[in-house]
Structures are given as structure tokens and as C-alpha cells.
Structure 1
Amino acid sequence: MTYDRLVCANCAAPVSEGRCPVCRASRERLQQQAGFLAGVSPVTLIALLVVLIAAMALLAHQTV
């Protein structure tokens, strides 16, 4: 889940806006925990998966 959909329990505003100190602290913590592929869109991930499957199929075909 991304922090842009989270609502702060302290001020009832979206955490991504960072209106209160609790929001800002949560936003910073979530940004630091973002993984390697956190900023990649789902379409890009699907395209990478298709390329990987095609490469594996090509390698399997060449070894036969």
C-alpha cells in the first residue's frame, strides 16, 4: 500500500499532504522503507515480466 491513500489518525488528512507532525513523520518513515521497485508502475512491471519470459523461452529454444 502506498502512503498517498493513508489517512492520519491525528488530523484525519491524507498522510501524503503532511499537515501535522505525525503525518510528516509517517510519510518520511514510509519513504525510507520504499523498496527497489516501489516507484515502478504496474505497466512497467508487466512489460519487464513479459521480456523476462521471452528471454527465458529464447534461451530454452536455443539449448534444444
Structure 2
Amino acid sequence: MTYDRLVCANCASPVSEGRCRVCRASRERLQQEEGPFGGLSPVVLISALLVLVAALALLAHQTI
């Protein structure tokens, strides 16, 4: 989940702006949970996976 569209229940502003302490705490927690691929969209991840599978198929075809 990304925090750029979340609205804080405490101050009713976007969490990404971090206006209150609740927003800032939520933003920090979500940033830590993202991991190395958290910033990438699912489309980019699927595209990268397809390219990897195609490269492996090509490599396997050349070794036969």
C-alpha cells in the first residue's frame, strides 16, 4: 500500500504531507515496510519478470 493517497483520520490531510504527528508516524511506518521493490508499480515488476523469463528462454534455446 502506498501512502500518497491515504488521508489521515486525525487531521484530514494527505498522509504524504505529514502535517500532524499521526501522519508522520504512519508515513515512516509505511516507508519502512515498502522494501526494495515497494516504490515500483506492479506493471514495472511484471514487465521486468517477463523480460527475465524471455531472456532465460532465449538462453535455454541457444544451449540446446
If the length of structure 2 is used for normalisation, what is the TM-score? 0.79
* More displaced stretch, 46-55 vs 12-21: 46-55
User: Displacement of 1:43 after TM fit?
Assistant: 4.8
- Give the equivalent residue in structure 1 for 2:27: 27
- Give the equivalent residue in structure 2 for 1:54: 54
Letter in 2 for 1:15: V
* More displaced stretch, 6-15 vs 32-41: 32-41
Which stretches of structure 1, 4 residues or more, deviate above 6 A after TM superposition? Answer: none
**Runs of 5+ unmatched residues, structure 2:** none
| Aligned residues between the structures | 64
User: Displacement of 1:30 after TM fit?
Assistant: 0.7
**Runs of 5+ unmatched residues, structure 1:** none
Identity across matched positions, percent:
77
SS in 2 for 1:3: coil
If the length of structure 1 is used for normalisation, what is the TM-score? 0.79
